[in-house]
Amino acid sequence: MPRPRFAAVVPLATLALAAVAAVAGCSSPAPAPTTPAPTAPSSSSPSVSVPTPSSSSATTASSEPTGGPFGTSDVSSPGIPELRAGGVGAAVRVGRHPGFDRVVYEFTGPEPPRFTVGYVDSAIADPSGEPVPVSGDAILQVLAFGVYYPEHGEPAPAPVPASALRGTVFAQVKGLYGGFEGIGQEFVGITGGKRPFRVFTLTGPSRIVIDVQSTS
């Protein structure tokens, strides 16, 4: 009686399994998992903005003129010698600032008067031609165009007291009251010779401002 053929089948199955194992052993190993590369933030990500000065602060910073650079030459406002409604001299005061000292002439008119400011060798009153005594080592003449003598008895601005001038470059400062034919004249005594200065005007109230360098 012939024997069953199971013996022949088993080896074939075994060979098939061996072949599968061989193929699996020869195949490349599976790649190791990789970490995703970081991606750049999308355009929708919130950005950090650097604060910039507001328009109001910029306006404030530039609203007060400085009169340009310091120098020793005469300085005149545009429109000289045209008279402007500068009114009457109302007050005069001085102040100390880093690097310069300041004289402020205040007026009652709606606009600051036009001006000419410069050093003179001697103080001569206009139009009398009489000498005016001025203390100090140099004399700065201030002419204001459109400043009149008061019509209603307004008092003249008092001179700056010597106690207020202590520690400044000013030896003498008097108020600019009114002037002949609308041209006011005053003199500022400066210590230490002809120091560089600058001039500008301000409104609210109307003022002529003179800065004189206190350091070289």
Q: Is 195 inside a domain boundary? A: yes
Q: SS3 for 55?
A: helix
**pLDDT score of 152:** 64
**pLDDT score of 41:** 43
Q: Is 111 inside a domain boundary? A: yes
**pLDDT score of 65:** 58
Q: Is 10 inside a domain boundary? A: no
CA–CA dist 18, 20 (Å, integer): 5
Total domains in the fold of the chain = 1
**pLDDT score of 96:** 95
Q: pTM for this structure?
A: 0.68
Residue 2: what are its φ and ψ, rounded to 5°? -65, 150
Nearest to 176 by CA among 141, 137, 135, 204: 141
**pLDDT score of 129:** 92
Q: Is 78 inside a domain boundary? A: no
Question: The tokens of 196 are what?
Answer: 């560089």
Helix ranges (H only) for the chain are 6-26, 55-63, 162-165
Q: Is 124 inside a domain boundary? A: yes
**pLDDT score of 194:** 97
Mean pLDDT by 10 residues, the chain (216 residues): 42 37 41 47 38 32 62 89 73 95 93 94 93 96 87 78 96 86 92 97 95 89
Q: How many CB atoms lie within 10 A of CB 166?
A: 8
Q: Is 127 inside a domain boundary? A: yes
Q: Is 183 inside a domain boundary? A: yes
Domain that residue 147 falls in: 89-213
The answer to whether residues 145 and 115 touch, using CB atoms and an 8 Å cutoff, is yes
Q: Is 6 inside a domain boundary? A: no
Amino acid code (one letter) for 114 = R
CATH classification at residue 181: 2.60.40.3500
Q: SS3 for 157?
A: coil
Instruction: Give the number of residues written for the chain.
Output: 216
